[in-house]
Amino acid sequence: MKKRIDDLLHLLDRYELVKAVSGAALGLQIENVVTDSRYVVQGSLFVCKGNGFKPEYLGEAIKKGAVSYISEEIYSNEIPCISVTDVRKALSIASRWYYDFSGDDMSLVGITGTKGKTSTSYILKTILDDEKSNNTALFSTVGVEICNEFHVTHLTTPESIDVQRYYKEAKDAGCHNVVMEVSSQAMKYDRLYGQDFSIGIFLNIDRDHIGENEHANMEEYLNCKIAFLKKCNTVIINKQTKHLKKILSAVKGRNIILIGRNDKEADVNISNVKRDESGSTFTLTYDGMSLELTTNMIGDFNIDNISAAVVAALKMNVSTDTIKKAVTDIHVPGRMMFYKHKGIDIVVDYAHNKLSVQNLYKTVVDEFKPKKIISVFGCSGERSKVRRKDLGTLADEYSDVIYLTADDPGNENVMDICDEIKTYIERPCYEIEDREEAVIRALNSANSGEAVIIYGKGMDDSQRVNGVFIPYKSDASVVEEWMKENI
């Protein structure tokens, strides 16, 4: 679809992003907005974005038919340049413009937190879809779901140009709602710049994602989370989260809803929690109503996730009958997937940071009371080194036997990562580079009454290695195949 670049220039100027414009840019018709020179076609507006950007990429784009480009500095005079103060913000605005501001025509719910984003997203989508089938698009770590279409992504929150393209696709497909995970990295790199949300959910925060390639410190990490909440009309916050006072001070003026446990001063109160092998029941009190909820999910953190999703659904005028029915049977790919085989409890989960792994272990101990715990995990390369200490320390505290293996090593050596984690472990510990082999070895070593916990990958079917994603069966698939072969 052709768009007049003059309209974009006015918009960028309104956001005070324009430094200079080549006069020849006026009047151009733009066929698409592109950040990767491989996908440039005749009439493209090319955006020079990224730490890895090289001027030769612009040269390739020009050869393929780019008619103008956006950048923070002028690289070429062959085609008109729109020089901007911040290219990432400009990309987000250009993407919103090109895809007709589609996100503004739907109810956007963003979910942020150190853990629980994916589960809460799926819970809320399940509730909303039960009210009106397949009416809700989902942007999650697992991927992007729009009606019956699924897009694989490798970012919790896609790049701004992809976010806006998916919004357009969702709107055109008839979706009225979008539920999406919002990562701190998305805010740090302005992937949602200029986009407002109807509802923002803040689940929790703990020390994570601090490192050379993520956040400089905890303050930056928290501020990125807060920056998202400032984009939301209604903010739902778990009252037990750390740094609550700072968060509340920063979002004054929004419609704030606080969720507490056995806390009558909270706007939403969770009480009467009961659990058994089939799931959990609890009471949720909010706005003069009291909901008795039953769910197949277990663990206190899942009750928190369900509660946040339920409150968001109520704000979106979903009926209480729909909510009660929807939460009874929730399935989140790669999260708390339970298997029972010859008396062995097997758990597959995506948990990969201190808070999520700690909750995973506590849930297994409380619910299954295993005689022995066998753990299988690794740690991502080029991520916070603190995570390796945290995961090693937790595994040593809760496990009897540990298998260390690959988990998106990136440009690092798998065994070097495992060696580092092992320095925090005193329990019997085996290092096996091949993840499928490690999972099978752990399963083969287990006996009735014991538990095998496999975490970090969940349903992920690839490993990030040296800049590319290579196929992997997924932990869930490896477990299911092993069960079939060991009847």
Assign 3-class secondary structure to the chain: CCEEHHHHHHHHHHCCCEEEECHHHCCCEECEEECCHHHCCCCEEEECCCCCCCHHHHHHHHHHCCCEEEECCCCCCCCCEEEECCHHHHHHHHHHHHCCCHHHHCEEEEEECCCCHHHHHHHHHHHHHHHCCCCEEEECCCCEEECCEEECCCCCCCCHHHHHHHHHHHHHCCCCEEEEECCHHHHHCCCCCCCCEEEEEECCCCCCCECCCCECCHHHHHHHHHHHHCCEEEEEEECCCCCHHHHHHHCCCCEEEEEEECCCCCCEEEEEEEEECCEEEEEEEECCEEEEEEECCCCHHHHHHHHHHHHHHHHCCCCHHHHHHHHCCCCCCCCCEEEEECCEEEEEECCCCHHHHHHHHHHHHHHHCCCCEEEEECCCCCCCHHHHHHHHHHHHHHCCEEEECCCCCECCCHHHHHHHHHCCCCCCEEECCCHHHHHHHHHHHCCCCCEEEEECCCCCCEEEECCEEEECCCHHHHHHHHHHHCC
Q: What angle do CA 40, 46, 47 make, to 5 degrees?
A: 135
pTM of the model: 0.86
What is the reported pLDDT for 382?
Answer: 86
pLDDT in tens, 409-426: 999 999 999 999 999 999
pLDDT in tens, 11-65: 999 999 999 998 799 999 999 999 999 999 999 999 999 778 999 999 999 999 9
**Does pLDDT of 379 surpass 80?**
yes
What is the reported pLDDT for 276?
Answer: 81
**Does pLDDT of 383 surpass 90?**
no
| Average predicted confidence (pLDDT) for the chain | 93
Residue 353 pLDDT grade (very low, low, confident, very high; cuts 50, 70, 90): confident
Distance CA 309, CA 317 (A): 13
Residue 141 pLDDT grade (very low, low, confident, very high; cuts 50, 70, 90): confident
Q: What angle do CA 176, 144, 406 make, to 5 degrees?
A: 155
Distance CA 300, CA 187 (A): 28
- Residue 3: DSSP 8-state: E
Distance CA 290, CA 455 (A): 36
- Crossing angle of helices 117-131 and 300-315, in 10° steps, is 40
Least confident range from 234-248, 328-342, 393-407: namely 328-342
pLDDT in tens, 188-219: 999 999 999 999 999 998 866 555 666 667 88
CA dihedral defined by 379, 381, 382, 384, rounded to 10 degrees? Answer: 10
Distance CA 140, CA 155 (A): 8
Q: Which domains does the chain have, with CATH numbers?
A: 3-98 (3.40.1390.10), 102-327 (3.40.1190.10), 337-485 (3.90.190.20)
**Does pLDDT of 1 surpass 60?**
yes
Residue 2 pLDDT grade (very low, low, confident, very high; cuts 50, 70, 90): confident
**Does pLDDT of 113 surpass 70?**
yes
Segment 228-235 mean pLDDT: 97
Neighbours of 97 (CB within 10 A): 21
